Homo-oligomer: A and B are copies of this chain.
Amino acid sequence: MARAVTPRKEDYSQWYLDIVKNANLASNSAVRGCMVIKPYGFGIWERMQRQLDDMFKETGHQNAYFPLFIPKSFLSKEAAHIEGFAKECAVVTHYRLKNDPNGEGVIVDPDAKLEEELIVRPTSETIIWNTYRDWITSYRDLPLLVNQWANVVRWEMRTRLFLRTAEFLWQEGHTAHATAEEAQEETLKMQEVYATFAEEYMAMPVIRGVKTESERFAGANNTYTIEALMQDGKALQAGTSHNLGQNFAKAFEVKFANKDNQEEYVHATSWGVSTRLIGGLIMTHSDDEGLVLPPKLAPIQVIIVPIPKPNDELDAKAHELMAELKARGVRVSYDNDDKKRTGFKFAESELKGIPVRIGLGKRDLEKGLIEIARRDTKEKSSLPIEGIVDHVVSLLDEIQQNLFDTAVKFREDHSHHVDTMDEFKAILDRDIPGFIYAHWDGTAETEKKIKEMTKATIRCIPNDAKPEEGKCILTGAPSTQRVIFAKAY
């Protein structure tokens, strides 16, 4: 097999695209900016979905489904919201095609023009809050805790598979509460659900923080985020949870009678993660041999390869092992294709990021041995076949933990405290810049200037930021805590 992946040092962007394409995760489609998620990539998404869905249900949420289309006038009802989304939306204007009277094909039928144009949802706050008006009348209808799994469309000009696509898959939670306190509690709870998922399942450490005003969701009072650090030292916003205050309730006139029978506007939150997480997963763990997957999300956790070729004896042993591993809940497969060479199979299992490879060799078996290769550390060991199932099961846990620990160490190695603009720029000039903790005077103006000068943005003010007296790296004005700057996806 030719080298499947461009090395990171040579061309990081190409390395990423090579993995996405050659590990069969996704491809571009005939429609600009829209991707095809291939079965292997979708298998990862299904596992993410299942786990997140369980976590949403454990925290009291139910799923529902709202329309794909949003009447144009709805988008305009919340002033900040329309500002944020008008510039990149797909607009449906007609509902019929007809034969082209002057040609062979079909054309849009001019007689089938919609009275009001429909927007393909870029996010669903407006259509959902228009619906909640009918669902909520009293405090007894609250809290309303609803989630939707859906596709959304944002007509981005520059797209990159998984990380930024015109259409993407996501979930969007939309909750309604009687008090500001409850809405704030929900906002933070869902940030924590996302952080837990990122760290325990994706093995991707994240910073929990709050966005500055200029980086907030269009229509939110506050946006909480989880931020991860990719291997090229850029940040990835991996999930956000918004406290929407009463903004959408006011825009859509959603009131409830409180316990004293007085009308109040409802308090809202929304929160979402998307197929972008797969981009984050790839860039957190993968290497120059290809994809590296954490066992908890890998569609195939263990692959068994017969060496040098399948035969009756090896097949029998492989099936015995598979049955034992499956009984322990391990997702295992057997690569018994006799047209592929062993070296090709090894390279393929590495490209696909399968956490553990078991080599079943005829001679090894005679000695009661079996070869185990870890994808994460590339260590190989020859082990007694006795007890191998227990070993593999605990090895999967060990790999999950090692991937997380390695990513934490990478982040620590690429987190910097700086106190001057010169230091700040010097870090950003590095090949792998990373997170920069620095003082900021709290103004949008300074934030904008720093962005214009360096392309770095404030990723967040960490939830656990410690009070610390300091001076803004740009203006020297006083500051009471450090914020995190980085270049970002």
Contact = CB atoms under 8 A, between A and B. Distances in A.
A70 interface: yes
Nearest to A337: B140
A250 interface: no
Nearest to A94: B91
Given A91-B97, A97-B75, A62 B86 contact: no
Interface in A353-396: none
Nearest to A115: B32
A86 B68 contact: no
A110 to B, nearest CB: 11
A72 B97 contact: yes
Chain A: interface size category: 35 or more
Contacts of A90: 69, 92, 94-95, 118
Interface stretch (A5-13, A36-44, A181-189, A305-313): A36-44
A69 B31 contact: yes
Interface string A66-85: 11111111111000001000
A38 B146 CA distance: 9
A244 to B, nearest CB: 19
Interface stretch (A126-134, A210-218, A410-418): A126-134
A430 interface: no
Copies, count: 2
A68 B153 contact: yes
B88 A91 contact: no
A65 B67 CA distance: 19
A339 to B, nearest CB: 8
Interface in A51-73: 62-73
A77 B94 CA distance: 21
B66 A42 contact: no
Contacts of A68: 34, 120, 151, 153, 167
A117 interface: yes
A31 B167 contact: no
10 contacts: A29-B67, A34-B67, A36-B65, A37-B65, A68-B153, A72-B97, A82-B97, A86-B96, A87-B96, A92-B93
Interface of A: 27, 29-31, 34-39, 42-43, 45-46, 62-76, 82, 86-99, 105-106, 108, 117-120, 127, 130-131, 134, 146, 150-151, 153, 155, 167, 169
Given A27-B131, A31-B71, A93-B108, 6 more contacts: A38-B64, A42-B62, A43-B62, A86-B97, A86-B99, A91-B95
Q: Considering the complex of A and B, which 3 residue pairs feature the smallest CB-CB distances, nearest first?
A: A34-B67, A39-B62, A37-B65
